[in-house]
Amino acid sequence: MSELGVNVDHVATLRQARGGVEPDPVIAALACEEAGCDSIVAHLREDRRHINDEDVKKLKQAVKTRFNLEMSINPDIVRIARNIRPHQATLVPERRRELTTEGGLSVTGNKAKIKRAVELLKDKGIDVSLFIDPDRREILAAKAVGVSIIEIHTGAYSLAKGREARGREYEKIRKAVDCGLSLGMLVNAGHGLDYLNVNRIANIKGVNELNIGHSIISRAVFSGLHKAVKDMKALIK
């Protein structure tokens, strides 16, 4: 059974709407853990639009499962990650104006820079994962820069309209998971997964962990965070 990592960025987004202290993403993280999630994910963006440096410090101290820090390879962010030492760092591409992460990392196009960031993080004992599209060339490049964990971008699958288009995107993910596993990598997946589309991805054999944020926090508005996490865990099961 795949594990569930809950992304708490959107709790911080709500806090930032008023610039105060509520709701606190750290308290949310603890509630998610109590409800049975397997890791906590947060993205320290360069523009600090939701999660901030203080949150990251507190999350590292408070999280009892595993803290997975999503981050770009910007040298300032790498320096912060090396100081905080999350259990895992997931490297993602970042563009200032995007609403959310729009695509996987181009590892093939940025091998040297990514390899350097991977080395700097691993040097501090941080496990490193690369967020990549379901593309064999990117998976091979990820292996080549020295990571043994990848997260397959499920965004295109989540956005695909109609059975055929969604089936095509699903096939890409299934093949990518097989490819990663055949190279001895740990394969995670995430982005855009919700209560309706998660089943198919959770059923792919060998997917280690699903990282989900927006749909869980959205549902929590109506059902409470505990139930929202428990319901997602049950679906994955």
191 is catalytic: yes
* DSSP assigned state of 2: -
DSSP E strands, 125-198: 127-132, 149-153, 186-190
Q: Is the dihedral of CA 189, 59, 38, 145 positive or negative?
A: positive
Size of the site for ligand PXP (CB under 6 A): 19
Q: Please identify, using beta-carbon distances, which residue of 134 and 213 lies nearer to ligand PXP.
A: 213
Residue of 31, 211, 228, 233 interacting with ligand PXP (CB under 6 A): 211
The phi-psi region of residue 89 (left if phi > 0; otherwise alpha if psi is between -120 and 50; otherwise beta) is beta
87 is catalytic: no
Quote the least distance from Cβ 75 to ligand PXP, whole Å: 20
Spot the catalytic one: 70, 138, 169, 209: 70
- Upstream peptide bond of 75 is cis (omega within 30 degrees of 0): no
Q: Which stretch binds ligand PXP (CB under 6 A): 53-61, 168-176, 189-197, 221-229?
A: 189-197
Q: Please identify, using beta-carbon distances, which residue of 143 and 197 lies nearer to ligand PXP.
A: 197
Where b means 16+ CB within 10 Å and e means fewer, 30-69 reads: bbbbebebbbbbbbbbeeeebbbeebbebbbeebebbbbb
Q: Does 68 contact ligand PXP by CB under 6 A?
A: no
| CA angle in degrees (0–180, nearest 5) for 196-153-234 | 35
Residue from 11, 12, 23, 22 nearest 47 by CA: 12
Residue of 31, 35, 38, 43 interacting with ligand PXP (CB under 6 A): 43
70 is catalytic: yes
Residue of 115, 166, 214, 230 interacting with ligand PXP (CB under 6 A): 214
Residues in region 72-101 near ligand PXP by CB under 6 A: 90, 92, 100-101
Question: What residues are labeled active site?
Answer: 43, 70, 191
The residue ranges that bind ligand PXP (CB under 6 A) are 7, 9, 43, 70, 90, 92, 100-101, 131, 151, 190-193, 211-215
